[in-house]
Amino acid sequence: MTPDVRKTLRTIAVLLFWLLVWALAARTVGQELLLPSPLQTAQKLLSLMMAADFWLTVARTMLRVLAGILAAVVLGVLLALLTHRSALARALLSPIMTLLKSTPVASFIILALVWLGRSAVPVFIAGLMVLPVVWANVSTGLVRVDPQLMELAAVYKLPRARILSRIIWPSVLPYLRSALRSALGLGWKAGIAAEVLTVPPYSIGKNIFESKLYLETTELFAWTVAVVLLSFLIERVLLLLVEGKKDSHA
């Protein structure tokens, strides 16, 4: 049995264990209003998926959150390059990044709601949570670029584009992947939290809020499961894209 197969089987076993714990807890409580069972939650999720509004809601939420995450990745990389080249820029930006990491997300959501429209707040918040993580990791990757390779590139007068693709990018890529692995879940959860507080039309957050408001606990669990599954899917797809770029530069 290969290590990958063992890892997959172990993951499935852990998942089944916690599903069993959930089922036993639901049976002990005995009230769907307080704690629905995994089967009840799965049935509700399937019924939601049968409606066209479900997919429209999922698509709009994913577009909002992914737009914020991708914008933050691009901006984080550019700011890391800027602060790597300029000590003054790093001194000016470091306190802002620390502020972004330490301030509660709810504070930013409320402020953004004052400045922006409801549909724009999740985009802004998702990006705001991802930006400092990407900036910090890419900055570390730039610091770790081998100086001897840079000296060699200068001696041979390599074009800037080749230096970037052959020396800097391979050094930064592992740190960018680590940033994405850490930040994707953070950005996704922050974007959903922003939707819960701002309730934009056709959003997962709006449905979560309304499920809680009307005590539809099973539907609340179903939407929560959908959020977890989508988070896993987004993380896998984006990391595969980054790994594909890694392979292309190998």
Domain ranges of the chain: 37-243
Give me the mean pLDDT over the 169-176 stretch: 83
Q: What is the DSSP letter of 35?
A: -
Mean pLDDT of the residues in the chain = 85
Pure H helices in 117-216: 121-143, 147-155, 160-163, 169-198, 204-213
Choose among 235, 184, 223: nearest CA to 53.
223
For residues 43 and 170, the model is more confident at 43
Tell me, what's the pLDDT at 238?
A: 74
Rounded percentage of the chain residues whose pLDDT exceeds 70: 94
pTM tops 0.85, yes or no? no
Choose among 9, 184, 214, 169: nearest CA to 77.
169
Superfamily of domain 37-243: MetI-like (1.10.3720.10)
Q: What is the pLDDT of residues 33-81, one digit of tens each?
A: 889 999 999 999 999 999 888 999 999 999 999 899 899 999 999 999 8
Q: What is the pLDDT of residues 108-139, one digit of tens each?
A: 888 888 888 778 889 999 999 899 999 999 98
